[in-house]
Chains A and B, each alone.
Chain A
Amino acid sequence: MRRGGVMRPASIENVGGEWEIELPSYGRRWLIFAIVAASATAGGFALCDGSFNVPIVGLTFFLAAVSGVSGLWSP
């Protein structure tokens, strides 16, 4: 078991010979998270004009659409 969770890299052995998506390692996921969050923070600071509603409302609608599609994975 890796630190922090259940996402182990897949191998042919542990899925009975069928395909499974392999995701980046734990360290790389932290790196990706840090880079994306830092870049977006800089972008949000530079681009936003102080009005809450326009960007946050747009992002909320976007997240609602993402959540709706992701709902397919709810049992």
Chain B
Amino acid sequence: MVGTATPVVYGPNRWKRVIAIYALSQVAGALSTGLVLWAIGIAVRTLFAWDSAFAAAITSAVCAVGALHDLKLTTIWMPASRWQVPCQWKRYPWPLMAAMYGFGIGTGVLTRIPFASFHAVLIATILFADLPLALGVMLVYGATRAFAVAITSQLQLLISDVRQRTLTISRLAPLLGYCNGIILAAVAGICMGHSFSSRFQCISMF
């Protein structure tokens, strides 16, 4: 989408409309994922009730595994779809094209998940089992993802060579994975410390 929705392809005015439709659709897709996660959380919680310390421990474990994955310390399989948004969608009228790409990519789970931080978000959102929180978290996800695409496609005005820009983005991937891994390690530690703290307080009450 970064190579498709650019000011050079659509012109400055239409590009803004394409990006606006794309961003709104992406947020809508993310919110639909939030709705599904909330429903899963409610369903699971009716079967297995959990307390906050358990939720923090599970979140910590997922973040730790994700950190090992993103830092390339172990070859752990992380669940992700292999589906890609079809390039045939470019043949549709541009409002429909932008909406379909935005919604499909915005769900976050239909296409490949590049880094494990999103797995941690999905698990934490399920563990909250709270509708406003699920929608709020996924709203942030969809909005930041759309914002990143908008900024990057705007950069075409500075770097007109599409191949060079795509290469630059792809070469930053290891650095992004490294940063994601460190962030996940920190979050895993905080959640684990929090879980320990909660258990310690429960024990000290007795």
A residues within 8 Å of B by Cβ?
A: 4-7, 18-21, 23-24, 26, 29-30, 32-33, 36-53, 55-57, 59-75
Contact = CB atoms under 8 A, between A and B. Distances in A.
Given A5-B73, A55-B194, A66-B183, A38 B189 contact: yes
A18 B187 CA distance: 35
Nearest to A73: B114
Nearest to A55: B194
A73 to B, nearest CB: 4
Given A44-B192, A48-B194, A68 B140 contact: yes
Given A52-B56, A52-B198, A72 B191 contact: no
Given A29-B71, A66-B117, A71 B187 contact: no
A57 B128 contact: yes
A37 B140 contact: no
Nearest to B120: A63
B94 interface: no
The 9 closest A-B pairs by CB, nearest first: A44-B193, A40-B189, A52-B52, A68-B144, A45-B193, A44-B190, A5-B72, A68-B145, A67-B118
Contact of A37 (B53, B172, B185, B198): B185
A16 to B, nearest CB: 11
A20 B171 contact: yes
B4 interface: no
Contact of A48 (B105, B141, B176, B193): B193
Given A63-B117, A70-B114, A21 B124 contact: no
Contacts of B108: 67, 71
